[in-house]
Structure 1
């Protein structure tokens, strides 16, 4: 038996096992659980054209999590993403934070598999000591993890496929019009999942002020912008959230002469109310709340605003040529000799370039691929009127979704098949909570989506499945497992 000193002796830090060993463990875990599941849905065609069970639009973390959850339930699926291979999502393109704000311990899209977590991926390469020393996850390291996730799970992602149109049909399928380097094509699917991210049903929000500026002199923080072109320029950033800090810091790091953050609030918010609301009760219960409570919770979090991460804010503060102009609002702008002259409540401010870090909005007009379905989608605006003072444009414009994230029609029967399109991106938050994009509960959302789709598909095909039950003939007894007993009552004895 070990002595007390031996029992309490610290163990040596675990050495890296390598990704090959981690992937072997992951394969073993899946094999032990008999995953992915065996396909059980009927093969479907329309006029000789094969029909996919599920087509997923978007190959970022939400689309990949949805794909794995569906596959584990035996539902074949294909992902279409407009980005080149390994550039799905914003991480390697428009995102500019140094690290994620989420705690490193969150399991994200791992769907309950320890070997599929970021921590497992990180420790396999760098060891336990490096994990313990890690504060927040570097942005590009998260991108590398997602690239590995795709390969480890052998996901069917068709890159450089842009969706031109989503067309529900009355015959039980949705047609997707696509374009790729090979040309235009069509795909039929029984269900379509929109896993299209933060701006999934619209695009960047810019205030009316932008219309008064030359287009070459401003950008939104989500734009593809070469920040090296800002070297030596006076740059303004409208907003005080995380993307504002990231944009300001990136401009400063690329040699901007000065960066002014124009922030209407007199103080930056300091408490992340969204983080305070995160628990399994809300994750699983938000969808079942009355509309009034859904609105009240989400509006409160929106109104309080999410503070920028401390690290992102300090990243800006490191520069002496950065200014936090709190309590500043823009009243007007003029352009003279190439200089943007802003009239603010604190006086005139001259800039060479302006970045709007003003978030996103649902805006069907900038998403022509949804032109056919947009007029028919029921929104919160049509279903709920908040108390005076609790108005919220983001929530009002959000789709009013069914229990499986499905779009619902404004008028019954106006667009047959609309409910076959599932909104698994940020605008689902009003109806389902934050389970369709953000790292903390993405696995919960993916399983909710997959289980719901499995239920719907079984119901649609119940006659097919019942027929399969009837013709199922695999015997479990072959007839020689027993010998019938001969037995008769003695004559005259009553039956008991």
Structure 2
């Protein structure tokens, strides 16, 4: 469907787009016909795939699985329409990613953010748009969930995960005040940036009363910072967004406490965004996997241009470089924050120190944590290239599956697939970030389909043998009499 000039002034509306999407999906044969045999265990149904998390990664995977005839169940502890960080802990005004990226659209034009936006606001508005507003991206994901008919169970909190030797993973789930054990043949963790841990908290916060500080990923009412002198530790995107939010909520001042002498200027990760790496990270030698990811980590990603201006436009914002925090002490209702540049007396401190892989922060994974093989047992970097994040990353198999640290200690562990940020060292950034989320979802979905067929090969072969749907019913031809035909042909040749 071409977009005419009239489309810009008179948007078609979501109803028209959804009709177009329905036709696209019908044309593409999406969803595919179900083909996996149903199973029960202990007289209870066994799901084919359960996905923990219904953010953009979980939704993309749901759509990719439907393309290969598998319908997963997505469990999310958040209430309806509040999945992921976009409407809760994220504070950026716009996304960093260019608006043209297709994200979770799975190659379907009518499922893209662009199509969704133009259907409502027109082509001229799209052309004028610089970056995608954060809350508008959340609205798009809500629409995506609805039109793809993802089977999401909200307010379902996973309490425990237990792989079994027979290939079933037991999942304890709390919902409506009750705890039940679900069963699935494959479990996928689509749990986001902090998928195997949580906020990384620096040692200088030990002993500091929690009422005086927060991590940038915490849910918090920034209006409580009005009139206060606030410090923000860090200078990445979330630090800028937290600082700007505090300033916009009438903080008396915000001091950015930046370890580096200046902000990084170049986003090195953009230089790696080529199809060869997107599809080929897993095939690289360990040395190259480590070298690429460590280089990007060490160079650090600069804060977005707009996020930085959002802070610097305030006269009461102060960028303090070379001010790594050395210690924090309480003095009455104030914090004394010591840095090489001096002691900052502040009312409140926001630490934007990222996330760590820390299994102790995810009690639901306590049963598997001791058995997961990590990169620190697989690879030893050269001196100077050490990287705590990479060392703690899980050493995943070709389909994002966990592997046993000691073979045989936890059978069935490889039926759990890590489709969240900690998969980056093994597979690249295809399991969470917008640019390649469809590629990662498609890779995992197709791989899971192949595993199901392999595991059920005897049943599929028996089904092949018993397949008896006729192509012909015998009325399509009239049998000839061979003797008569031979005689007729002989006579015709003599003539």
TM range (shorter): over 0.9
Q: Counterparts of 1:51-450 in structure 2 under 5 Å? A: 51-450=46-445
SS at match of 1:329: coil
Number of residue equivalences: 482
Q: How far apart are 1:167 and its partner, in Å?
A: 0.6
Tell me if the contact between 1:191 and 1:421 (Cα under 8 Å) persists in the aligned partners: yes
Residues 183-219 of structure 1, C-alpha deviation per residue, up to 9 Å, x if partnerless? 1111100000000000000000011011031111010
Tell me if the contact between 1:205 and 1:360 (Cα under 8 Å) persists in the aligned partners: yes
Q: How far apart are 1:287 and its partner, in Å?
A: 1.2
Residues 390-435 of structure 1, C-alpha deviation per residue, up to 9 Å, x if partnerless? 1111011000000110000011111011000000000000000000
Per the normalisation by structure 1, the TM-score is 0.95
Distance in 1, Cα, partners of 2:29 & 2:375:
41
Residues 252-298 of structure 1, C-alpha deviation per residue, up to 9 Å, x if partnerless? 00011110000010010111111111011110011111111111100
Aligned residue in 1 for 2:449 = 454
SS at match of 1:80: strand
Aligned residue in 1 for 2:490 = none
Distance in 1, Cα, partners of 2:28 & 2:243:
48
Distance in 1, Cα, partners of 2:339 & 2:12:
58
Residues 291-329 of structure 1, C-alpha deviation per residue, up to 9 Å, x if partnerless? 111111000000000000000000000100000001112
Q: How far apart are 1:489 and its partner, in Å?
A: 8.0
Distance in 1, Cα, partners of 2:252 & 2:481:
99
Distance in 1, Cα, partners of 2:192 & 2:419:
8
Residues 55-97 of structure 1, C-alpha deviation per residue, up to 9 Å, x if partnerless? 0000000000001111111012100000000000000000000
Distance in 2, Cα, partners of 1:290 & 1:249:
42
Tell me if the contact between 1:52 and 1:76 (Cα under 8 Å) persists in the aligned partners: no
Residues 414-457 of structure 1, C-alpha deviation per residue, up to 9 Å, x if partnerless? 10110000000000000000000000000000000100100111
SS at match of 1:441: helix
Aligned residue in 2 for 1:7 = none
SS at match of 2:431: coil
Residues 347-399 of structure 1, C-alpha deviation per residue, up to 9 Å, x if partnerless? 12101110010000100001000000000000000000111111111011000
**Mean Cα deviation higher: 117-126 or 67-76:** 67-76
Tell me if the contact between 1:70 and 1:77 (Cα under 8 Å) persists in the aligned partners: yes
Q: How far apart are 1:333 and its partner, in Å?
A: 2.6
SS at match of 1:176: strand
Distance in 2, Cα, partners of 1:370 & 1:164:
8
Q: How far apart are 1:335 and its partner, in Å?
A: 1.6
Q: 1:377 to 1:458 in 2, by over 3 A?
A: same
Tell me if the contact between 1:212 and 1:333 (Cα under 8 Å) persists in the aligned partners: no
Tell me if the contact between 2:105 and 2:112 (Cα under 8 Å) persists in the aligned partners: yes
Identify which of 458, 461, 471 aligns with 2:466: 471
Tell me if the contact between 2:204 and 2:326 (Cα under 8 Å) persists in the aligned partners: no
Distance in 2, Cα, partners of 1:351 & 1:96:
22
Distance in 2, Cα, partners of 1:180 & 1:278:
40
Tell me if the contact between 1:123 and 1:131 (Cα under 8 Å) persists in the aligned partners: yes
Distance in 2, Cα, partners of 1:18 & 1:339:
53
SS at match of 2:206: helix
SS at match of 1:269: coil
Distance in 1, Cα, partners of 2:336 & 2:482:
106
Distance in 1, Cα, partners of 2:68 & 2:325:
53
Identify which of 37, 40, 44 aligns with 1:49: 44
Q: How far apart are 1:486 and its partner, in Å?
A: 1.0
Distance in 1, Cα, partners of 2:30 & 2:325:
57
Tell me if the contact between 2:54 and 2:84 (Cα under 8 Å) persists in the aligned partners: yes
**Mean Cα deviation higher: 45-54 or 177-186:** 177-186
Distance in 2, Cα, partners of 1:41 & 1:450:
14
Tell me if the contact between 2:371 and 2:404 (Cα under 8 Å) persists in the aligned partners: yes
- Aligned alpha-carbon RMSD (Å): 1.4
SS at match of 1:440: helix
Q: 1:176 to 1:307 in 2, by over 3 A?
A: same
SS at match of 1:186: strand
Q: How far apart are 1:485 and its partner, in Å?
A: 5.6
Distance in 1, Cα, partners of 2:436 & 2:260:
30
Q: How far apart are 1:478 and its partner, in Å?
A: 2.3
Segments of structure 1 that go 5 or more residues without pairing to the other structure are 1-9, 491-496
SS at match of 2:482: coil
